[in-house]
Structure 1
Amino acid sequence: MKTPRTQTSDSGLRGEYEGAADDYVVGQDWHAYTPEMHDRWRRLHARQTKLVERHACASFREGLARLDCGQGIPRFEDANALLGSATGWRLVAVPGFIPDDTFFDHLAHRRFPVTRWLREEHELDYLVEPDVFHDFFGHVPMLLDPAIADFLELYGRAGKRAMAMGALEMLARIYWYTIEFGLVREHGGLKVFGAGIISSAGETVYAVTDAQVLRLPFDPVRVMRTAYMIDKFQKTYFVLDDLPQLIDGLVGLDFGPIYRTWRDVPPLPAGECLPDENPIPFSGARA
């Protein structure tokens, strides 16, 4: 693998797509990572681990410890041995962003796409596109939790119907506000489980300690109606009572009528609290 600065021809995003399979899977090419890249990973891992110890949920902390990936960019094949025996998932390397239908198909078959390139030195604090650190450090520990593992498969299966009904954006908000930017109640406080938060030093602290942030109880319909921020910290976070609530709140939910009712209605702005809603009071972060 060359240093992955090649851009796609149509999106302008990074990733070397030449030679990828029809499902966008490529080889990780672990031996192509340079000593500088491994050092960058170690520094990112060390910095985020300090925040994880205080702000991440127990499942994330336990999963990260089991992966034991602090010494350098991990080999996906090593993680697959652990994931396969624990929850039946495996990682597949991809060049970067992949089409929605392909992403859903991977998830539906318990394959989690992980970008293979690593951010550069000047991007340590902020990165718009997901890289191997975001995907692996942020997502893979939670794949060891049975509730998250089952939810992601169900989410992948739901993608086809959402696309057919023109409601992909609504379904995508479920993923965004949970798997990427989700919070969960734990031991009387709020903890992080979303990868978009937990792979960002700034947002990890902001999401659970900023008194001005709007934090709402998890409600799947409200989530599907809420716009989100792509290039800045979120203005709204949704809070689960526990991780199994992800499945309990969605299994049996009839998405068809929800899509038909709300797909053509402009989403609620991020950070907007409705008159009948009761935001979760800020009581300070708890260790």
Structure 2
Amino acid sequence: MMSNFNDFNNPQVKKLPEHLKQFIVEQNYEHYTPVDQAVWRFVMRQNYHFLKDIAYYPYIPGLEAAGLSIEKIPDLQEMNDALKKIGWGAVTVDGFIPPAAFMEYQSCRVLVIAADIRQLHHIEYTPAPDIIHESAGHAPIIADPDYHQYLSYFGSIGAKAMYSSKDFELYEAIRELSILKEMPDPDPQTLKRAEKRVLFCQKNLGDPSEMALLSRLHWWTVEYGLIGTLENPKIYGAGLLSSIGESKSCMDPSVKKHWYTADAVNFPFDITKPQPQLFVTPNFQNLTKVLEDFADTMAFRRGGSESILKAIECKNTCTAVYSSGLQISGVFSDLRMDKNNELLFIKTVGGSALSFEGKQLEGHGKQVHTMGFSSPVGRLKNFGKALEDANENELEKLGIICGNTAELNFIGGLSLKGIVSSILKRNSRIIMISFTDCTLKDEQGNVYFEPSWGVYDMAVGEKIVSVYSGAADKDAFEEIAPKARSATFHPEYTEHQKRYHDLFRQVRLCRETQNEFERLKDIWTELKQDFREDWLCAIEILEILEQRNIFSDMGRDIRIYLELKASNEPELNKLIQNGFYLISKTHKESAL
């Protein structure tokens, strides 16, 4: 967690709950090298020229509304100043963060942006999240009211999604692989092992969890979504908008286009390959409708035994909500059902907490319930309504009076005997009754609680109406979401690399100050002599020469050098040709 939390004077960032702050890292703008700035500019100029006609939103106004420019990597403060005008904020994080945390940021209307930028050798595509994908892909469309409404609503649904322990193993594996692939020279054996681990996790997920299914809806909309008609769709998905290659190839008829419906949840995705099909929504309101239909199938809306079983499989903190409003947060370990699968009893292990309306009840944190929490669910025998709705007279008839020994027999077969020590109400409903000298057992005589264990706090509620991931009061629970073990790679630069960076700095200075163009001759000589692997700095010099119509002999020399490089190194051919195209477009525009 950041020691001095910077809220960028942005209301959305300011309101972030404590448990989300652990993922925030400093942007450290000064760490971006001149090469990083050149990578940003090259990709963004491509984006503008190639995408302005196929992107859904007006590209430049979209960038400006998010505090972005084509010329330089965005500064987080500038982004926050712009985004707060539309009720959003932005923070930087270290690569992939857990899906549940990512969703919660989205629900708080805060964009999560990977602080790092792709290396030059991954300029076209990076397997790791980077500032180009996150800010240039997601941020420019944020100004659309229907879209940002969908994004924050998706986050609020996703933050409650149940995930399995296997989901987290897959997240860890993908994060580790993406970090390795972003390294300049990863060990081939380590890379192979990491790839195998991702494949193994993908193949052994079992039935997809709510989070896995929601991730598909997120992928086919927020990352790879199209909008409009099947014949002539426009791109709004950030994954497409930050990959020039795929944004062009996705329009090919070989990539099937389907209308976006709830059926999209049946299409898994592979982050390492181009997508074989994409989904088109007629409008953004349709996205919310599909999401709403899916949310109706989720545990936080359904409750009951099926949802508690999902919580047990999660193996992480979840919350079950009784019909009385009482919330139980902890790691669920057991349940009891009748022959109709109706819940009779639930149990957690380890530190557990009780809350109401998202606020932890005093004296009921996990420091008190250190060994877990368990309680019956359901109605009492011979009592015509739910216990939470009983009035004072009815409680007296049932013998539930403070200081009195009460015997409660549940329809499911559990029976409780103990001295009533307190009755807790909220909003005129009973949510908990505490007992001393208490025994809870079933019809077979199995003991669930005995007097020597201390005070028994019995949750009151006819049903479990909702179950969701995470704690009810996350900050009081001091919930630390599962955090990745792997840290992203940050290169140490050699003196040779630093010299290369400095050449980019000098070229930028010439371009921005519009003078000292003679200096470009020395830079070009140095590039030819000591940096034969370069192509991007040469492109930047050529751009200035052709735009200013100066040093035509040197310009010809650079063109020949780049054309030779493109033919000798096929992996650079497309990038260099794109560079030539950008120069010609810029040249024409400046001549107009």
| TM-score > 0.5, shorter chain as reference | yes
**3-state DSSP of counterpart to 1:114:** strand
Post-superposition Cα deviations, 1:73-104, rounded to whole Å, max 9, x if no partner, equal 01111111111112x11111001111122112
Q: How does 1:82-97 map to 2 (within 5 A)?
A: 82-86=82-86, 88-97=87-96
After TM superposition, where is structure 1 displaced by more than 6 Å over at least 4 residues in a row? Answer: 257-260
- Counterpart check, 1:255 vs 2:287: no
Matched-pair contact (CA < 8 Å) for 2:259–2:281: yes
Partner of 1:135: 134
Larger mean Cα displacement after TM superposition, 38-47 or 22-31: 22-31
Give unmatched runs, 5+ long, in structure 2. Answer: 1-19, 165-208, 311-592
Structure 2 matches for 1:172-187, cutoff 5 A? 172-185=215-228
Partner of 1:251, secondary structure, is: helix
Distance 1:187 1:159, change over 3 A: closer
Cα gap change, 1:167 to 1:68, in 2 (>3 Å): closer
Aligned residue for 2:52, secondary structure, equals: helix
CA contact 1:142–1:193 (8 Å) conserved in 2: yes
- The answer (yes or no) to whether the contact 1:108–1:153 under 8 Å persists in 2 is yes
After TM superposition, give the deviation of residue 204 of structure 1 in Å.
0.6
Cα deviation for residue 222 of structure 1 reads 0.9
Alignment match, 1:121:
120
**What TM-score, normalized by structure 1, do the two folds share?**
0.76
The alignment status of 1:105 with 2:147, answered yes or no, reads: no
Letter in 2 for 1:247: T
Equivalent of 2:284, from 239, 243, 261? 243
Q: Cα distance 1:222–1:83, how it changes in 2: closer, same or farther (>3 A)? A: same
Higher RCO (Cα < 8 Å, 6 or more apart): 1
Give the CA deviation at 1:59.
5.3
**Structure 1 residue 68, shift from structure 2 partner:** 4.4
Residue 266 of structure 2 is matched in structure 1 by 225
Asked if the contact 1:229/1:235 (under 8 Å) is kept, the reply is: no
1:161 aligned onto 2:202: no
Question: Take 2:57 and 2:231, find their aligned partners in 1: how far apart are those partners?
Answer: 13
Identical positions, percent: 27
Superposed displacement of residue 63, structure 1 = 0.9
CA contact (8 A) 2:210 2:298 kept: no
Q: Tell me the SS of whatever aligns to 1:133.
A: helix
Aligned residue type for 1:75: D
8 A Cα contact 1:52 1:61, kept in partner: no
Contact 1:182/1:237 (<8 A) preserved = yes
Is 1:212 the counterpart of 2:254? The answer is: yes
Q: Which residue is 2:23 aligned to?
A: 24
- Label 1:76 to 1:116 Cα distance change in 2 as closer, same or farther (>3 A): same
Which deviates more from structure 2 when the two are superposed, residues 35-44 or residues 55-64? 55-64
CA deviation profile, 1:19-60 (whole Å, cap 9, x unmatched): xx8530011111221222111111111011111212101255
Q: 1:39 to 1:244 in 2, by over 3 A?
A: same
Instruction: Supply the RMSD in Å over aligned alpha carbons.
Output: 2.5
Structure-to-structure mapping, 1:65-76, within 5 angstroms? 65-66=64-65, 67-76=67-76
The answer to whether the 8 A contact 2:228-2:234 is kept is yes
Q: Quote how far apart the aligned CAs of 1:187 are.
A: 11
Contact 1:218 1:238 in 2 (8 A): yes
3-state SS in 1 of match to 2:105: helix
Q: Alignment length, in residue pairs?
A: 239
**2:234 partner amino acid:** K
Deviation at 1:158, TM superposition (A): 1.1
Q: Confirm or deny: 8 A CA contact 1:184 1:239 kept in the other structure.
A: yes
Aligned position for 2:146: 147
For the 8 Å contact 2:27–2:115, the answer to whether it is kept is yes
Could you state the TM-score of these two structures normalised by the residue count of structure 2?
A: 0.38
Letter paired with 1:128 = P
Q: Sort the Cα spacing of 1:22 and 1:61 in 2 relative to 1 into closer, same or farther, 3 A.
A: closer
Do the aligned partners of 2:230 and 2:259 also contact (CA within 8 Å) in 1? no
Shift of 1:161: 3.3
3-state DSSP class of the match of 2:250?
Answer: helix
* Contact 2:255/2:277 (8 A) holds in 1: yes
Q: Which has the higher strand share?
A: 2
Question: Secondary structure of the equivalent of 1:92?
Answer: strand
Match of 2:186 in 1: none
1:6: which partner in 2?
A: none
Structure 2 counterpart of 1:121, which letter? L
Partner residue, 1:200: 243
Equivalent-residue separation in structure 2 for 1:242 and 1:47 (angstroms): 27
2:275 corresponds to 1:234: yes
Offset from partner CA, 1:125-177 (integer Å, 9 cap, x none): 22111111111111111111112211111111112432168311100001100
d(CA) in 2 for partners of 1:229, 1:188: 25
- In structure 2, the CA distance between the partners of 1:54 and 1:109, relative to structure 1 (3 Å rule), is same
What is the CA distance between 1:251 and its match in structure 2?
A: 3.4
Q: What pairs with 1:258-269 in structure 2 (closer than 5 Å)?
A: none
